[in-house]
Amino acid sequence: MPDASFPEFPYHPDPRGTGFVVESETRCLACGTVRGYIYTGPVFAVEELDEAFCPWCIADGTAAARFDAEFTDVELGVPEDVPSGVTEQIARRGPRTSSAAATADSTSYSDFS
Ligand SMILES: [Zn+2]
């Protein structure tokens, strides 16, 4: 691998290959530094934090700790008490394996949109 200093994501071994991390001059909100890369994957947080963090702050937990955010890389699952906006995002990407499940989901998530 050419870049040994690049952070490792245990559930996402090649974030640049999948486009979850892209080259960017965006300043990271967590460390305040332009690292040359920015994380573009899903962010589950109260605030709008898309493309706000460098991959280093995602990987070491700084972004999650400082902004109370979650990232799909960590595969934490969905807590019961997440804010409705967050739940909505999760609902959109959630599995729809059967019409019964879809009905159950729409009941749970029906109080926004
Ligand atoms: Zn950072």
Tens digit of each residue's pLDDT (9 = 90 or more) over 2-26: 455 888 887 778 889 989 999 999 9
Residues in the chain: 113
User: 101 CA distance to ligand 1 centroid (A)?
Assistant: 38
Q: Has residue 53 got a pLDDT over 90?
A: yes
Residue 101 scores a pLDDT above 50: no
Residues with Cβ < 8 Å from 30, sequence gap 6 or more? 52, 53, 54, 57, 62, 63, 66, 67
Å from CA of 82 to ligand 1 middle: 24
Q: Checking phi first, is residue 22 left (phi over 0); if not, alpha (psi -120 to 50) or beta? A: beta
CA of 105 to the centre of ligand 1 (A): 35
Rounded distance from Cα 16 to ligand 1 centre (Å):
16
Give 12's contacts (C-beta < 8 A, 6+ positions apart): 18, 20, 41, 73
